[in-house]
Amino acid sequence: MPLYLGLDSSTQSLTAVVLDVRGRDRSIVFQHALGFDREFPAYGTTHGVLPDADPHVATSSPLMWADALDRMMGVVADALGADVGRLRAIAGSAQQHGTVYLNAGAEATWRALSADRPLAEQIDRTFSRDRSPIWMDASTSAQCAAITQALGGADCVAQMTGSRAFERFAGPQIRKFYDQDPDAYDRTNAIHLVSSYMASLLAGRHAPTEPGDGSGMNLMDIQSGTWAPAALDATAPDLAKKLPHLAPSSTVVGTLSRYWTERYGFPTAKVIAWSGDNPCSLIGTGLVEEGRMAISLGTSDTLFAFMREPRVDPRHVGHLFGSPTGDYMALICFANGSLARERIRDTYGLGWNGFSEALRSTRPGNDGAIMLPWFVLEITPPVPTPGVRRCGLDPNDAAANVRAVVEAQMLSMAIHSEWTGIRARTIHATGGASVNREILRIMADVHDADVYQLDVPASAAVGAALRAFHADEASEGRPIAWRDIVAGVAEPIAASRIAPIPENVRVYEQLKPKYARCEADALA
């Protein structure tokens, strides 16, 4: 009976899950996380990020990620004990957009690793840049502007690559590196995403870029899944020679290199191409067919959805990424998520019970009273100055303000996801606030969709393990449909269903244009 390992190298930690597949019975039999700050203090990160005098700069240590991989593989081997021989394949997920810069000696070093010494001390000379810019970096506005101009405007960049130029994306980051340190750029032999770097360490050879993660670079042609020559030219010289090739998500990169088999007793399990955390979460939350959307209610709220046809946000706020299924996904981020809900809860001194009670005691549509809950700079829609706005809403009415903040969040999600063309029949709700069924009731009514609670902690790592399962079977000539891959693992809790109430759906249909007008007036 095969086991599959899914790893997730995220901003703050490395997580591992092991999936046990026994015919139609699948279960997660092991899960463990290593937090970078606590477990690897020598690298000096805070929340996984290295200190920097410039608040716009966010970097991390690629050596630390390797160190964590090494330790985690030891933990997994110990936990599996005699069952380690059942490990069939490994796939991974990594924070999107981050880049790793390697010199010409990297691959030879990976091949010649000694199993007697830790990985980190053997590869510390393989980098042409010891810091990796990560997705929280916002220091490349000048490079974004230059790339946008070279490619003929934001819409051209978005149509070509799936997103307009974003500061955190790999392309603008690579251009900044070239601009600031052309010699180090010249000494760079390979530029990996975090995902392909981690896969390379496991396989002991340069791993390809996976198109789901590749779509977070402003370098890949989103339609064809190949590098876009014009985007490469607009970014840095000779870039084509430094980037790995692009290969499908199910690509078997190779098998675990000798380092892993000798050091920890692993079998020569297949190493599958790693992807980004968002494409992996798409799988880990079961979004493998049309009409399915997930809304994660976290510090910020994120909406992501499976898409069959590639569509680009005409306002360039949302992203179009590739999906590991070979289809597409939309990703839209709302900065004022739990943050805004908590501000309202605290302003009116309610606690979560009082918050829920306020939702129960007020009517859908809030008698037309509207809030624009922009406590912090909002991403969607882009709000230049934060500040809460109220349209016909009495600031002293606690219950109405509670309803207004949640209705605003759901209406905004519905309005700003229209460009995806997705008519969601099912929404999988995740994240901390998804335990609150009063919030999910409003979600169901505004989106006119069945809402289910989804209890898949570590959805990116689970998605990676499921990708390993899928790729392994496909490579053996036994392809399994994605729906069957996720069955029983990345599925919502059936009994948690909240169905839309037609009468409430009609109220929100009428409120939607009013909310859109209120928003447009505020932004005018």
Residues that bind ligand XUL (CB under 6 A): 10-11, 95-97, 135, 168, 216, 276-278, 319
Q: How far is Cα 363 from Cα 72, in angstroms, rounded to an integer?
A: 51
SS3 209: strand
Sign, CA dihedral 454-459-465-471, equals positive
Sign, CA dihedral 82-86-88-92, equals negative
Sign, CA dihedral 214-220-221-225, equals negative
Q: How far is the CB of 293 from ligand XUL (least distance, A)?
A: 16
Q: How far is the CB of 134 from ligand XUL (least distance, A)?
A: 8
**Nearer residue to ligand XUL within complex by CB, 50 or 507:** 50
Q: How far is the CB of 42 from ligand XUL (least distance, A)?
A: 23
Instruction: Tell how far CA 451 is from the center of its chain.
Output: 21
Q: How many CB atoms lie within 10 A of CB 495?
A: 7
Which pairs with CB-CB distance under 8 Å and at least 24 residues apart come from 264-269?
A: 264/73, 264/74, 264/76, 264/77, 264/84, 265/77, 265/84, 266/73, 266/77, 266/84, 266/87, 267/84, 267/85, 267/87, 269/5, 269/87, 269/88, 269/89, 269/90
**Nearer residue to ligand XUL within complex by CB, 276 or 500:** 276
Q: How far is the CB of 94 from ligand XUL (least distance, A)?
A: 8
Q: What is the DSSP string of 328-365?
A: EEEEEEESSSHHHHHHHHHHTT-HHHHHHHHHHTS-TT
SS3 426: strand
Q: How far is the CB of 289 from ligand XUL (least distance, A)?
A: 22
Q: How far is the CB of 345 from ligand XUL (least distance, A)?
A: 25
Nearest to 221 by CA among 282, 161, 152: 161
**Nearer residue to ligand XUL within complex by CB, 10 or 285:** 10
| Nearest-10 crossing angle of helices 398-416, 502-523 | 80
Q: How far is the CB of 145 from ligand XUL (least distance, A)?
A: 20
Q: How far is the CB of 135 from ligand XUL (least distance, A)?
A: 4
**Nearer residue to ligand XUL within complex by CB, 362 or 380:** 380
**Nearer residue to ligand XUL within complex by CB, 97 or 175:** 97
**Nearer residue to ligand XUL within complex by CB, 278 or 430:** 278
**Nearer residue to ligand XUL within complex by CB, 207 or 330:** 330
**Nearer residue to ligand XUL within complex by CB, 162 or 364:** 162
**Nearer residue to ligand XUL within complex by CB, 40 or 135:** 135
**Nearer residue to ligand XUL within complex by CB, 154 or 505:** 154
Q: How many angstroms separate the Cα of 54 from the Cα of each of 43, 88, 328, 393, 396?
A: 19, 44, 35, 40, 41
Q: How far is Cα 426 from Cα 285, in angstroms, rounded to an integer?
A: 12
Q: How far is the CB of 136 from ligand XUL (least distance, A)?
A: 8
**Nearer residue to ligand XUL within complex by CB, 97 or 470:** 97
Q: How far is the CB of 165 from ligand XUL (least distance, A)?
A: 13
Nearest to 18 by CA among 489, 378, 436: 489
Q: How far is the CB of 8 from ligand XUL (least distance, A)?
A: 9
Q: Is the separation of the CB atoms in 268 and 255 below 8 Å?
A: yes
Q: Which residues pair with 122 in a beta bridge?
A: none
Q: Collect all residues with Cβ–Cβ distance below 8 Å to 238 and sequence separation of at least 6.
A: none
Q: For the chain, state the CA radius of gyration.
A: 23
**Nearer residue to ligand XUL within complex by CB, 97 or 129:** 97
Q: How far is the CB of 387 from ligand XUL (least distance, A)?
A: 25
Q: How far is the CB of 305 from ligand XUL (least distance, A)?
A: 14
**Nearer residue to ligand XUL within complex by CB, 18 or 280:** 280
Which pairs with CB-CB distance under 8 Å and at least 24 residues apart come from 46-54?
A: 47/11, 47/12, 48/10, 48/11, 48/12, 48/13, 48/134, 49/11, 49/134, 49/136, 50/131, 54/139
Tokens 């709302």 belong to residue: 334
Q: Collect all residues with Cβ–Cβ distance below 8 Å to 495 and sequence separation of at least 6.
A: none
Q: Is the separation of the CB atoms in 36 and 16 below 8 Å?
A: no
Q: How far is Cα 335 from Cα 23, in angstroms, rounded to an integer?
A: 42
